[in-house]
Structure 1
Amino acid sequence: MNKIPVMKPFFTQEEKDAIHDVLDSGWVAQGPKVAEFERIIAAHEGVRHGIATTSCTTALHLAMVALGLGEGMDVIAPSFTFVATVNSIRMTGATPLLADIEQATFNINPEHVRQLINIYYVKKEDGLFHKQTGNRLWGIIAVHQFGLCADMNRINKIAAEYNLMIIEDAACAVGARIGSVYEGGFGHASCLSFHPRKSITTGEGGMILTNDDALAERLRTLRSHGASVSADQRHTGQGFLLPEFNEIGFNYRMNDIQAAVGIAQAQKLDWLLEERNRRASLYTYWIHEKIPFLIPPTVPEGYYHTYQSYVCMIDPKGLGINDIDALGDYRNKLLAGLEELGISTRQGTHAVHMLGYYKEQYGYTPRDLPVSYTADRLSITLPLYVQMTDEDQKAVITTILKVASEINEMSER
């Protein structure tokens, strides 16, 4: 069997031509192509400003710094997310407080957020303060996991009640929306990723979206060492003079080669998302028809899922096994068997509270956040990319059934 990868970027001649045009122009650092890419993505998501960065991780860090996060502050974030979400908090010197997720959506559970606030914080005139450490609760990071928006209506109600900042970690979710509002329109800032596993890619890269004019200006300054004038602005003015530097910043700039690829990708974005949804629907149909031990992704009414990843869960009822660790072992055998037969898969993502640093630093145990722990142990990402054929997807389904049958035969011996 030919190997079927988890994800494959979709490139055409447009991306190649765009790279050549940039190389021929002689301007390969951050410049006019970055500015154009920022305008295109911001316009697509219905947001005033886009600030391109080197990755979503640097976008998250930059947004947190620009919004004032630092030492002596806490941030609530979901445990079931890629570690970069929580690492970004630690990079500012702030302390993460991990929340559980809703299993159906894989997104942060607003009710658990409220429980954490009630358990750990006391309300004072100028905010919420941790009862033991004295840290002020700064805000909430809402991750739009796998391309599905978190329940921003309930999250924003909590934030408004306690005057908390909201950052949307939309690494997986360019194009995702609730009703007519796209990611980027719910919080103070939203952070995107253009990693090769995302719906569109620049190789590596990220972007911050915001409707706040002052915040956008500060983000642009901080991403370029704290310079008062950007390189492309200098090019159109007196470029022989260096800008003023009034604060310490970072080198988080995307370059024009990446942005040119991004522009070509963005022109296909709506079509790519439609194709991903079509492929996802086919998976969901076949799982319902043929694989009773898998639970396909859930999409709440009114939400648009971009299916950056198609993530299922092992269903305990379908296998007649109730122990999570035993089910996790079954999941791992299934993934190993698929890999041997040429089907690449992954667990959905990890539960951060189970990772070494966070367990040791904050004393978490696996079942402190039981739904995140379950998702860590039982989630399965199936291959999904627009170049897939129906036959490819049938091969994935058929191979899952074949490996599951072999596992069951082995367990009966």
Structure 2
Amino acid sequence: MIPLSVPNLSGNEWKYVKDCLDTNWVSSVGSYVNQFEELAAKFSSVTRAVATVNGTSALHISLILSGVQRDDLVILPNITFVAPANVIKYMGADPILMDVDEHTWQLDIALLTRFFEQECLIKEDTCHHKNTGRRISAIIPVHVLGNMVNMEKLLPLADYYKIKVIEDATEALGSTYKGKPAGSFGLFGCLSYNGNKIITTGGGGMILTNDKELGEKAKHLTTQAKADPLEYYHDEIGYNYRLVNILAAIGVAQMEQLPAFIDRKRNVSELYTRELKDVPGFKPQVITEHVNPNCWLFTCCFENSKGLLKYLNDNGVQTRPFWVPMNQLPPFKNDLYFHVDDIAGSVYKSCLSMPCSTNISDKEVIEVSNKIKEFYA
């Protein structure tokens, strides 16, 4: 089986983990946590990074610190992994699901503009949804598959309508828009280090921000809001969302290899695109103008994608469908979905993700491509 996307632990991971074991610094305190946060902040061009247990917890804390309240509305693209939609519900808020661009599969900025103009009003310096009267307090642009939302157009809209921007950059570590890293545009950016991401700590996430005070607050909340270095005095509701030192050690080793991993992902994407260009219905994701993507997960559209999915998995190629759109999932089926043609539904029906680990060989990429060609022969 050629796997979809697996970790590449070919650097100093064993050395740094052994150091943790040898010194007994395996839990939530230790030098590797600080190193990992510093490396993440520097790489993403922000002033503060806070390591968390996973990307979902990073999103949760970011929503809390952005002032999202119960009964608020939060704008979210309909094509996303489920985590940000779940986190909105954690807050007692609801998502407004926004359709995506048919080419880039990112949140549709033209559609978003129309939504604001037709469906919203500014009242008492906050944005409200006209039909329900509910406050819209935040937007979560998800940089899907390592491509990016057009942030140059999104940010002025969000500023005008008085809503906070929390970037879900969990798939886009290493992607840039006009040279500026994903996760560095909004009030917060969130990263994930899950096992299938471009670098991994097994689990793990990161909160990025340029607001020093909010960065300190994020660190406080993720460490159970312990307010005294000696006494177990906690001054507000906190969360056990801290990343442990032994996983941060893996993260430090992975960060050392990240530039090479990004280069490999881009090479794999280019090779697939060249090999598959004549396959019936082949349609790769169009990269947003001015974006240099990390090419995290090679995903593209095909004719009879469900048949191809079964054929590949039956023949030793681990392939996965795209995420089910949020409006089709039971927890979110009653939430507002703003769309014209339901592009999200069309993308879901035709898209598949192909093996693209950073340690996949060119020979394996060509083998996968040949299997796809066999299916259509």
- Residue equivalent to 1:383: 355
Distance 1:386 1:132 in 2: 48
- Residue equivalent to 1:325: none
Structure 2 residue corresponding to 1:305, chosen from 278, 293, 302:
293
Letter in 1 for 2:288: P
1:83-134 alpha-carbon deviations (Å, 9 max, x no partner): 1111111101111100000121111011121222233322223222122332
- Residue equivalent to 2:245: 256
Contact 2:125 2:162 in 1 (8 A): no
1:210-232 alpha-carbon deviations (Å, 9 max, x no partner): 00001101101111111125xxx
Q: Does 1:362 align with 2:330?
A: no
Contact 1:74 1:97 in 2 (8 A): yes
- Residue equivalent to 1:270: 259
Query: Matched residue pairs, number?
Result: 376
- Residue equivalent to 1:160: 159
- How much has 1:368 moved relative to structure 2? 6.8
Distance 2:239 2:120 in 1: 33
- Residue equivalent to 1:343: 317
- How much has 1:192 moved relative to structure 2? 0.3
- How much has 1:5 moved relative to structure 2? 0.8
Contact 1:354 1:364 in 2 (8 A): no
Q: Does 1:242 align with 2:231?
A: yes
Contact 1:76 1:113 in 2 (8 A): no
The structure-2 alpha-carbon separation of the partners of 1:90 and 1:349, relative to structure 1 and needing over 3 Å to count, comes to same
Distance 1:342 1:126 in 2: 56
- Residue equivalent to 1:324: none
Q: Does 1:404 align with 2:368?
A: no
Distance 2:269 2:361 in 1: 12
- Residue equivalent to 1:7: 5
Distance 1:225 1:119 in 2: 42
Distance 2:97 2:341 in 1: 8
Structure 1 residue corresponding to 2:366, chosen from 382, 394, 401:
394
- Residue equivalent to 2:60: 61
- How much has 1:369 moved relative to structure 2? 6.0
- How much has 1:347 moved relative to structure 2? 1.6
Consecutive aligned runs of 4 or more in structure 1 exceeding 4 Å deviation: none
Q: Secondary structure, in 3 states, of the residue corresponding to 1:93?
A: coil
More helix by share: 1
- How much has 1:350 moved relative to structure 2? 2.2
The structure-2 alpha-carbon separation of the partners of 1:305 and 1:364, relative to structure 1 and needing over 3 Å to count, comes to closer
Letter in 2 for 1:371: I
- How much has 1:244 moved relative to structure 2? 3.0
Structure 1 residue corresponding to 2:281, chosen from 271, 278, 293:
293
TM-score normalized with structure 1 length: 0.88
Letter in 2 for 1:349: W
- Residue equivalent to 1:408: none
More deviation, 249-258/342-351: 342-351
- How much has 1:364 moved relative to structure 2? 6.0
- How much has 1:157 moved relative to structure 2? 1.5
Contact 2:98 2:337 in 1 (8 A): no
Show structure 2 runs of 5+ residues with no match.
none
Contact 1:358 1:364 in 2 (8 A): no
Q: Does 1:111 align with 2:83?
A: no
- How much has 1:209 moved relative to structure 2? 0.4
Q: Secondary structure, in 3 states, of the residue corresponding to 2:9?
A: coil
The structure-2 alpha-carbon separation of the partners of 1:204 and 1:249, relative to structure 1 and needing over 3 Å to count, comes to same
Q: Secondary structure, in 3 states, of the residue corresponding to 1:58?
A: helix
Paired residues for 1:8-407 under 5 Å: 8-12=6-10, 14-31=12-29, 32-229=31-228, 234=229, 241-288=230-277, 290-314=278-302, 330-359=304-333, 361-362=334-335, 370-405=342-377
Distance 2:131 2:328 in 1: 23
Distance 1:218 1:363 in 2: 32
1:316-350 alpha-carbon deviations (Å, 9 max, x no partner): xxx5xxxxxxxxxx211110011000011112322
Contact 1:99 1:369 in 2 (8 A): no
Distance 2:346 2:156 in 1: 28
Distance 1:354 1:222 in 2: 33
Q: Which has the higher contact order (CA 8 A, sep 6+)?
A: 2
Letter in 2 for 1:378: S
Contact 1:197 1:308 in 2 (8 A): no
Q: Secondary structure, in 3 states, of the residue corresponding to 1:137?
A: strand
After superposition, the CA RMSD in angstroms is: 1.6
Letter in 2 for 1:18: Y
Distance 1:364 1:62 in 2: 25
Query: How high is the sequence identity, in percent, across the aligned residues?
Result: 30
Distance 2:273 2:63 in 1: 37
TM-score normalized with structure 2 length: 0.96
- How much has 1:16 moved relative to structure 2? 1.1
Show structure 1 runs of 5+ residues with no match.
235-240, 320-329, 406-413
Distance 1:395 1:103 in 2: 29
